[in-house]
Structure 1
Amino acid sequence: MTIRLTLACERYDRTEALRDGRVRPAGVDLTYLPQQVEETFFRMARFREFDASEMSLSSYALGVARGDSPFVAIPVFPSRFFRHSGIYVRSGSSVTHPSELKGGVVGVAEWQLTANVWIRGILEDVYDLPADAVSYRTGGLLEPGRPEKLKVDLQGRFDVTPIEDTQTLSAMLAAGEIDAIYSPRAPEGFEPGGPIRRLFADSRAAEVDYFRETGIFPTMHVVAIRRDVYEENRWVARSLFNAFAEAKRLAEENFEETAALRVMLPWYLDEAAATRELMGDDFWSYGLEPNRHVLETFLRYHHQQGLSAQELKPEELFAPETLETTLV
C-alpha cells in the first residue's frame, strides 16, 4: 500500500534528497512543499494544512503539555542553531554583557518562539540574567501587527506587553525605545555602520565556548505529523524518520568531496573538519538518545518560562515507533 502525503519544509541540504526524490519514504508518495518556516508554522498551527511539516519545537511542546496536541512528532531536527548571535542592542549602547540588561526592556516577536526560549534560558543559566529580570515587548520585527501564533498564559509571572500595531521592534530598538531584541532573524538596521549591533561582538567564540561547556547544539524545529494521519497509519512515523535520516546521510557525503566544491564557500571543507573536531562526526544527530540532554535542557526552560505547566520528558514528545532500534 502506498499513501500520499504532503510535507511542508524549508529547503535544506539535509532534506534536499527528499525534495528531489532521490530518497522516498517507504510506502509514501511524498509531495515536498518548500517554503519559509514562518509560513509553514502559521499555516500548520492555525489550519492544519499539511499531512506533515517542519514545526517549532516550542509550539509543539505547548500542545503536548496541554494534552491536546493535534500533532505527533518524530525526533528529526531539520533546524538547529546556536543563539548567542540572535541578541541585538543599539550600536551606541553601553551594554557589553547580558547581565547589564537587568531592569531593561527587550523586544521579542513572540514569547513562545523556540529561539527566544533558548536565549532566555542560556542567559539565565550562563550569564546571570534571569528571565524575569527584564520586561518584554512583543510584536513584528520588520513589519507591524504580528500576534502570537498560539495563546500563552504566563499567569503574571513575566512582564510581557504587545507593542502598538503600527510599531516594529527594529524601529523601536534603533530609536532607543527598547534596550535589546532577541530574534532568530536579524532586525532592520543590523549592517555595517548601522544603528544595531550584536550584543556578543564575537558570537561564534561565545557559542563555541558554550558548546564546550555544555555539549548542547540547540534544537529549533521538529517534524510533526498530523495526528489523524498518524493514527490511521502509524508506520508512517518510522518511514518518515528513516527517510529523513537517509537524506541527511547523503548531504553529509558532500563534506568528503574534494574534486569539486559543492557549495560556494571556498573553505567549507576546512570548516567541516573543524566542526567535526569540536562536535564529533554526528554533530547534527537525529533520534532521542543522542539529543536527550539537549531536549531535557530545552524542556526545563520551557517550563521555567511559563509555557508548560509541568516539565515534560523527552519521550513524551515523539511517536513511540521512532524511539527504539530494531534488534536483529
Structure 2
Amino acid sequence: MAEPVTLRAAIGRYPHSAAVLDGTAASPILRIEDAGISPVNRAFAPMVREGRFDLSEMAIATFLMAKEAGRPLVLLPVVMAARFQEGALLCPAESPLRGPTDIAGRRVGVRAYSQTTGMWLRGALADAGVPPGAVRWVTFEDAHEPGYRDPPWAERAPAGSDMLAMLRGGALDAAVFGNDLPQGEPLRTVFPDPGAAAKTFRTAHGFVPVNHLLVLRRDVAAAHPEIAPEIVRLLGGRTPPGGRAGLAPALLLAARLCADQGLTRRALNLDEIWDGTPLTVP
C-alpha cells in the first residue's frame, strides 16, 4: 500500500477541524501536518504570495482577488468559517448613528479594505442604499494580494495608529471588527438589530455569509487529485450540502460584491472560480 500523502496545512482550530489537527480523525491516504499558524489569517498572505503551505484556509475575498491575479491556487468546497456580519460594525455607544444609512459620509475603520468581513458588510450597506464610495474607509494594512491598490474612497491611517483608539477618540465614526470583538468597551452595533438583519440576509440569499474556505496549491492538487475528496470528507463539517453546487450562491454573490467594491476588476464566474479543482471533487 502506498504511503499517505502528507500536506503541510495552515488551518484554524474549530469543532470540525480539531480532530483532524490532533490526528484522531485519520485517513489511509492523507496526513495533515499542522503548520501551527495562529491566528490563521496570518497564513493568507504567505499562501497567496509564495505558496508557503500545501493546504491553507483562506478568506473568500482574498481567494477571489488571488484567483483573478493568476495565483496558482485551487478551491475546495469546504467552509471553515461562516457567520452573519452585521454585529461586527461597531460605533461608540453615544454615537448619533442610528442605522446603516447614517454611515454615508462617515469615516469607518477596517483592518484592510480587502477584509472579507468588510466586503460582506459593504454589501449589506449597499443593500440599505449606501454604496461603497459613499463612505470614507480608513485602512490599517495592505491586502494579502500584493498587486492590489485600495480604491480612491479608502485612505490609510497614520502609521502606528490603532483602530480601537481612533474609534474611542472620535477620529473614526465606526469600525469593522473581526471575530474578536472588543470587550468592556462602550460600543454598540450600527445595525440596531443585527439578528433581524441576519434573518433578512438569509431570506434574501439563502445562506450564511462565508468567511473562510480551503485552498490547495495548484501543483499539489494536480499531482494528487485523489486527496481532494478526502480533504472534503475530513474537513467539510461547516459546508452546505451539495458540494460545489451548494456553495455556488455564496461564491457568486461574493464575486459580484468584490467587483462592485473595486476588489476585483470584474466578477469571476463559477468556471473561473473552480478552475484547477480536481474533477474528483463533486
Pair in the same fold by TM > 0.5 = yes
Conservation of the 8 A alpha-carbon contact between 1:87 and 1:200: yes
Measured in 2, the distance between the counterparts of 1:8 and 1:133 equals 36
Conservation of the 8 A alpha-carbon contact between 2:60 and 2:254: no
Query: In the alignment, what sits opposite 2:84?
Result: 82
Runs of at least 5 residues in structure 2 that lack an aligned partner in the other structure: none
Q: Does the C-alpha gap of structure 1 residues 293 and 284 become closer, same or farther in structure 2, counting only changes over 3 Å?
A: closer
Does 2:250 correspond to 1:294?
yes
Query: In the alignment, what sits opposite 1:131?
Result: 132
Query: In the alignment, what sits opposite 1:212?
Result: 203
Structure showing greater Rg: 1
Does 2:217 correspond to 1:223?
no
Counterpart amino acid of residue 134 in structure 2? A
Query: In the alignment, what sits opposite 2:162?
Result: 168
Does 2:95 correspond to 1:104?
no
Q: 1:57 aligns with which of 41, 54, 60?
A: 60
Give, in angstroms, the shift of residue 196 of structure 1: 2.3
Measured in 2, the distance between the counterparts of 1:283 and 1:321 equals 18
Counterpart amino acid of residue 45 in structure 1? V
| TM-score (normalised: structure 1) | 0.77
Query: In the alignment, what sits opposite 2:265?
Result: 309
Higher strand fraction (1 or 2): 2
Measured in 2, the distance between the counterparts of 1:286 and 1:3 equals 26
2:210 alignment partner, SS class: coil
Conservation of the 8 A alpha-carbon contact between 1:300 and 1:311: yes
Give, in angstroms, the shift of residue 100 of structure 1: 0.8
Measured in 2, the distance between the counterparts of 1:97 and 1:221 equals 27
Conservation of the 8 A alpha-carbon contact between 1:169 and 1:181: yes
Measured in 2, the distance between the counterparts of 1:15 and 1:3 equals 18
Counterpart amino acid of residue 155 in structure 2? T
Measured in 2, the distance between the counterparts of 1:33 and 1:204 equals 36
Give, in angstroms, the shift of residue 47 of structure 1: 4.0
Counterpart amino acid of residue 150 in structure 1? E
Does 2:191 correspond to 1:200?
yes
| TM-score (normalised: structure 2) | 0.89
Measured in 1, the distance between the counterparts of 2:67 and 2:154 equals 23
Measured in 1, the distance between the counterparts of 2:93 and 2:47 equals 37
1:96 alignment partner, SS class: coil
Query: In the alignment, what sits opposite 1:150?
Result: 145
Q: Does the C-alpha gap of structure 1 residues 223 and 229 become closer, same or farther in structure 2, counting only changes over 3 Å?
A: same
Give, in angstroms, the shift of residue 121 of structure 1: 0.9
Show CA shifts across 1:86-111 (max 9, x none): 10111111111111111111111111
Counterpart amino acid of residue 203 in structure 1? P
Measured in 2, the distance between the counterparts of 1:216 and 1:234 equals 29
Q: Does the C-alpha gap of structure 1 residues 150 and 159 become closer, same or farther in structure 2, counting only changes over 3 Å?
A: same
Identity %: 24
Give, in angstroms, the shift of residue 183 of structure 1: 2.4
Show CA shifts across 1:240-283 (max 9, x none): 122223xx2xxxxxxxxxxxxxxxxxxxxxxxxxxxxxxxxx98
Query: In the alignment, what sits opposite 1:5?
Result: 7
Show CA shifts across 1:68-103 (max 9, x none): 112111010110010000101111111111111111
Runs of at least 5 residues in structure 1 that lack an aligned partner in the other structure: 140-145, 249-281
